[in-house]
């Protein structure tokens, strides 16, 4: 069995919240190279999306392993020190605790992990988003694994015809429920159509029960009880064979769906699929971005990556995203560009209401 672990954190932005300084990535690579040298990791790849550092690691230690999580935590701490030296913006912002306590869960960084038997050929796709909240994967996961208008394999591939099961998390009440598709899609959509509350955590192949996809559903806002950043989630998807083809997995991103997370984590905007070089959200700190790195696994080695959205076939999606961005921006401080009051991560509501106390009268 091999374990594929992706752990990410915003440990300091360059410039502002738009991108990542090369020194931080170099420190990340150095630390993971050492861990590979002492046999803790089989392989790794360090990348970034916007201002988030992404540690992609393979090993044989299983999910939630404290040595792997400590490695990520210590690496982020070291990167945060580099960020402080350079006076980068928001240095260490996602590291919410001073002391490591077993796993990074609940401590600020986001994580997605899966353990599986590597197949004869094992293509994996890793999606990473910036200026985006954790429920953003609900729509693409639904389309990839339950919508035959996206994934023709559900209809014509014998090994996919029985469908997939979805593990859905209630991110506010910390409960989970599993749905079988296709027969339960109407019930499931009642929940996952509300991505600020319900997030698809994992998808499994029926009837083998094999893991097909895992997302990070960590909500920074909920963790800290105050604004510290955006979830900027990651998603791992296994592809081909009994899982959707690479093209079926990428296809939903041709539609730049509206997601939460733009400017001050308080605005809706289109999720723009981009190649790595374009993952530097700048206009109004956005619009939100998603990148995808594709690998073939070989005995746990990460062969790759291919920068999957660095492809002119996604130009039209980027154009649509820019048009949608312009449409949203023209709403200025009005909904539905701005999030509903209770969802905003910055608010002056308490001060304003205090000031207006005594000035309200009955209608
Ligand atoms: C960060 C983000 C940004 C910031 C904004 C203000 O993920 O969404 O839009 O919220 O740049 O940042 P602060 O308050 O850190 O100056
Ligand atoms: Mg940031
Ligand atoms: Mg970010």
Compute the mean pLDDT over every residue in the chain, rounded to the nearest whole number. Answer: 95
| pLDDT tens per residue, range 282-324 | 999 999 999 999 999 999 999 999 999 999 999 999 999 999 9
Does 107 score more than 90 pLDDT?
no
16 lines ligand 1 (CB under 6 A): yes
230 lines ligand 1 (CB under 6 A): yes
Q: How far apart are CA 299 and CA 297, in angstroms?
A: 6
Percent of the chain having pLDDT more than 70? Answer: 97
List the beta bridge partners of residue 268: 260
pLDDT of 225 > 70? The answer is no
Confidence of residue 221 (pLDDT cuts 50, 70, 90): low
Token match 């959509």: residue? 189
Tell me, using a 6 A CB cutoff, whether residue 285 lines ligand 1: yes
- Asked if the model's pLDDT at residue 38 lies above 70, the reply is yes
The per-residue DSSP string of 61-87 comes to S-TT-HHHHHHHHHHHHHHHHHHHHTT
* Residue 229 pLDDT greater than 70, yes or no: no
* pTM score: 0.97
Residues marked as catalytic: 10, 227, 230
User: From the alpha carbon of 284, which atom of ligand 1 is closest?
Assistant: 9
Cα of 130 to ligand 2 centre, how many Å?
9
Residue-level pLDDT at 227: 58
CA distance 327 to 337: 9
Closest approach atom of ligand 1 to CA 261:
8
Return the pLDDT at 198.
Answer: 95
Extended strands (E) in 87-220: 110-116, 122-130, 164-170, 175-180, 198-205, 211-215
In this model, does residue 230 exceed pLDDT 70? Answer: no
Which listed ligand is nearest to 265 at the C-alpha? Answer: 1
Ligand 1 atom 4: residue of nearest CA: 264
pLDDT digits (tens, 9 = 90+) for 340-356: 988 887 889 889 999 99
């Amino acid at each position: 069995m091999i374990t594929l672990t992706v752990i990410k954190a915003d440990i300091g932005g360059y410039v502002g919240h738009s991108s990542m300084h090369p020194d931080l990535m170099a420190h990340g690579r150095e630390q993971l190279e050492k861990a590979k040298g002492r046999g803790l990791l089989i392989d790794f790849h360090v990348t970034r999306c916007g201002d988030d550092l992404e540690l992609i690691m393979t090993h044989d230690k299983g999910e939630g392993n404290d040595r792997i999580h400590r490695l990520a935590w210590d690496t982020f701490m070291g990167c945060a020190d580099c960020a402080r030296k350079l006076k980068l913006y928001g240095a260490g912002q996602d590291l919410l605790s001073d002391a490591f306590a077993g796993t990074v869960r609940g401590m600020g960084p986001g994580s997605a992990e899966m353990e599986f038997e590597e197949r004869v050929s094992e293509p994996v796709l890793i999606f990473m988003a910036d200026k985006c909240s954790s429920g953003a994967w609900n729509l693409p996961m639904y389309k990839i694994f339950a919508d035959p208008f996206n994934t023709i394999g559900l209809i014509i591939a014998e090994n996919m015809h029985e469908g997939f099961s979805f593990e859905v998390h209630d991110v506010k009440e910390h409960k989970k429920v599993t749905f079988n598709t296709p027969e339960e899609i109407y019930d499931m959509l009642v929940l996952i159509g509300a991505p600020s509350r319900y997030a698809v955590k994992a998808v499994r192949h029926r009837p083998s029960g094999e893991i097909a996809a895992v997302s990070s559903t960590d909500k920074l806002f909920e963790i800290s009880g105050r604004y510290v950043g955006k979830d900027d989630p990651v998603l791992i998807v296994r592809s081909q064979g009994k899982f959707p083809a690479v093209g079926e997995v990428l296809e939903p991103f041709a539609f730049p769906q509206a997601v939460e997370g733009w400017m001050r984590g308080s605005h809706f905007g289109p999720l723009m699929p981009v190649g790595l070089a374009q993952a530097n959200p700048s206009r109004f700190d956005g619009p939100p971005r998603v990148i995808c790195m594709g690998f073939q696994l070989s005995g746990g080695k990460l062969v790759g990556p291919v920068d999957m959205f660095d492809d002119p076939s996604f130009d039209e999606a980027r154009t649509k995203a820019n048009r949608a961005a312009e449409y949203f921006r023209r709403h200025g401080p009005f909904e539905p560009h701005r999030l509903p009051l209770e969802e905003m991560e910055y608010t002056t509501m308490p001060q304003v209401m205090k000031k207006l106390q005594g000035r309200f009268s009955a209608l």
